[in-house]
Amino acid sequence: MGFLSRPLVLVSLALLAASPGVRPQERVQEKESKTIEKEKPAEATPPAPKEESSVTEHTLKIGSQTIPYKATAATILLKNEKDEPISLIYHTA
């Protein structure tokens, strides 16, 4: 080695040692966590949402007049051409 190459090698090694790279222990932990994730059984598909509704009866008094009314809260299930649920819409009436 020449006179200038030895300090250059030492500086390069010092920089490598000080670099914030992934340490071997962290790599092992990453591999273990990935292995654990792969070993998980496949989660069951959640049940398809269903249409529901609720109707309640009320009265509203305005001045001396009492007005009866019904309130409806419901969901509408939208499906695609394969009859698979794609959206559940909430509405009130």
Per-residue pLDDT reduced to its tens digit, 37-77? 566 666 777 787 889 999 999 999 999 999 999 999 999 99
**Residue 50 CB contacts under 8 Å (≥ 6 apart), including other chains:** 77
Look at the block and give the residue holding tokens 């819409």. Answer: 89
Domain boundaries, the chain: 53-92
What DSSP character marks residue 47?
P
Dihedral angle of Cα 81, 43, 88, 51, to the nearest 10 degrees? 90
Strand partners, 90: 75
Query: The whole model's pTM is what?
Result: 0.45
